[in-house]
Amino acid sequence: MATPKTILLIDDDRDIHDAVRRVLEPEGYRIESALTGPAGLDAARRIRPDLILLDVMLTEPSEGFHLAYEMKRDDALSEIPIVFLSAIAERTGMNFAAEQGSDYLPAEGFIDKPFDPAGLRESVRRAFSAVHK
């Protein structure tokens, strides 16, 4: 049996951690958690996850964007796909999903909160497929 893929969830909302676990663990993924940007960066460096689910609005409104830029500049982390999971689009009215994969939004996906479980599963599958082409 193959080793389960590890997903690091960086989000300051414990309810999101519970919801993501309920959706993705039955799919065979191992979920690691971090509640802050610095803890998430430390965890990413320590465990080298296969995918990072990253909230945009952590301690600061755009902290997740800055964290993603930092990870993409880090040779040890740059190849790990990032999928943003955030309510920032709802709060700002901006369509960040249209910018994914660009220099502006260095990510393989963008999921709006509240998320649809099927949409979360599909976005994770798509992100893994994109990096294994």
Q: What is the mean pLDDT of residues 36-49?
A: 97
What 3-state class would DSSP assign to 20? helix
Which has more pLDDT, 91 or 77? 77
Report the distance separating Cα 36 and Cα 99, nearest Å.
Answer: 24
Which CATH code fits 6-131? 3.40.50.2300
Report the distance separating Cα 111 and Cα 90, nearest Å.
Answer: 11
Per-domain boundaries in the chain: 6-131
Residue 98: per-residue pLDDT: 47
| Environment class of 34 (CB within 10 Å of its CB; exposed 0-12, middle 13-18, buried 19+) | buried
Reading the block at residue 63, the tokens are 């902290």
Q: What is the mean pLDDT of residues 80-85?
A: 92
* pLDDT, the chain, mean: 86
Q: Which amino acid makes up residue 38?
A: P
| 15, pLDDT greater than 50 | yes
| 124, pLDDT greater than 60 | yes
Percentage of the chain exceeding pLDDT 70:
83
